[in-house]
Amino acid sequence: MKLDEFGLIRTLTARVPVTGPHVVLGPGDDAAVLEALPDERVLATSDTMVQGPHFLPETMAPFDVGYKAVAASISDIAAMGGEPRHVLIALGIPSSIEVDFMESIYDGVGQICREYQCTVVGGDVVRTDGPLFINTTVLGATSRPPLKRSGAQPGNLVFVTGYVGSAAAGLDVLRSSSITAKEDAAFLTAAHQRPKPQVAAGQIFSLEGATSCDDISDGLASELNEIANASNVRMRIQTQRIPIHTAVRNLARVRGTDTLDYAFYGGEDYQLVGTASPFQFARILARCESIGISVQQIGRVEAGDGVVAEFPDGRLDVISAKGYNHFAE
């Protein structure tokens, strides 16, 4: 099936939600026109995934590529405590790729947009002689002061949503032939392929005065170090408190690896890590748990710098930011 550029964009756009609140003019003209409400501020973030460094056909179906690319950007909006609203997609397409492959990517985009009440307001599809790439820009809004990395204070508690390390373990399952129970494999691969950004949690953090927040895209170690650096504090993490799913523990046992490696250095969980005073944390915990979002305290903020892990046997260790880094060599 051959399509010209405009026909192709029409075909793809038909698969995603394009109308909704705050959209004055959707895709199809030179630029989208979006409503900004009084008292709100606009949040903007952009992410790019390239086949090769970021995903492989063996581990990510085209649907997953579309889903996860948008998830990564929605997660950035979540980490600011905002509401994601609008998505712009740019696809770089090798000539070997057929229209149905692009449609599947857009089906994934459409699925996550519907789950998070977002609309696709712009898109661009270009040819490339290189590997597939997808760039997502997500615009959001918040009427509250946005959560930053720089507000953590000594005496605050450190906490995370959900489980960490699951996405990295999922990638290991997809890449290897480790013996994994069926339900473990399903949980882990879903964590890798269809991560769920923690938008509701971010809004609760912001509403209840969390002092800092970051999403766990590059691994817990990396994000904790970012908050520590931006806030000029030390994060002291009690390793036995880190929420690691049984499926990850089972996989680590089978593979003879360290569960904490998944948790600290895995990345792509798109959970949130934040800090708040104990009083604020109690309110965050209550609100989150009341709507089914799990939040776990994993440590404390202290005067100092860096990230220190406290092991069950009392041993301490500095945790450096060696999460996934595209340019480390």
Residue positions forming the annotated binding site for ATP? 106, 123-124, 149, 217
Out of 208, 215, 268, 269, the only residue in the binding site for its own copies (CB under 8 A) is 215
Q: Figure out which of the listed residues 13, 68, 83, 92 binds its own copies, where binding follows CB under 8 A.
A: 92
Q: Scan residues 96-125 and list those touching its own copies (CB under 8 A).
A: 121-125
Contact status, residue 149 vs residue 274, Cβ threshold 8 Å: no
Question: Which CB sits closer to its own copies, 52 or 278?
Answer: 52
Distance CA 214, CA 240 (A): 21
CB closer to its own copies out of 52 and 154: 52
- Residue (31 or 282) nearer to its own copies, CB: 31
How many residues lie near its own copies (CB under 8 A)? 76
Binding mask 44-83 for its own copies (x = CB under 8 A): xxxxxxx-xxx--------------------xxx-xx-x-
Regarding 312 and contact with its own copies (CB under 8 A), the answer is no
Smallest distance from its own copies to CB 280, Å: 20
Burial of 55 (0-12, 13-18, 19+ CB in 10 A): buried
Distance CA(324)–CA(329), nearest Å, equals: 11
For residue 315, with 0-12 CB atoms within 10 Å meaning exposed, 13-18 middle and 19 or more buried, which class applies?
Answer: exposed
Per rule CB under 8 A, is residue 130 in the interface with its own copies?
yes
Tell me, rounded to whole angstroms, the distance of Cα 299 from its chain centroid.
21
Question: Can you read off the two tokens belonging to residue 91?
Answer: 């696809």
Residues 160 and 321: their CA atoms lie apart, in Å, by: 17
Least distance (Å) between residue 311 CB and its own copies: 27
CB-side neighbour CA atoms (13 Å) of 94: 9
CA distance 138 to 117: 12
Q: Least CB distance from residue 1 to its own copies, whole Å?
A: 11
Nearer to its own copies, 313 or 329 (CB): 329
- Within residues 25-44, the interface with its own copies by CB under 8 A covers 25, 29-38, 40-44
Chain positions 175 to 204 lying near its own copies, rule: CB under 8 A, are none
Interacting stretch for its own copies, rule CB under 8 A, among 6-14, 160-168, 171-179, 305-313?
A: 6-14
Nearest distance, CB of residue 44 and its own copies, angstroms? 5
Angle at alpha carbon of residue 41, lines to 35 and 45, rounded to 5°: 90
Where does residue 75 rank: exposed (0-12), middle (13-18), buried (19+ CB within 10 A)? Answer: buried
Q: Is the CB of 184 or the CB of 269 nearer to its own copies?
A: 269
Which 131-150 positions form the footprint of its own copies (CB under 8 A)? 131, 133, 135, 137-142, 146, 148-150
Instruction: Tell me the closest approach of the beta carbon of residue 101 to its own copies, in angstroms.
Output: 14
Task: Give, for 182, the enclosing helix (H) or strand (E).
Answer: helix 182-193
Q: How far is the CB of 133 from its own copies (least distance, A)?
A: 6
Instruction: Tell me the sheet residues that pair with 276.
Output: 157
User: Between 80 and 284, whose beta carbon lies closer to its own copies?
Assistant: 80
By C-alpha distance, which of 249, 229, 234 is closest to 166? 249
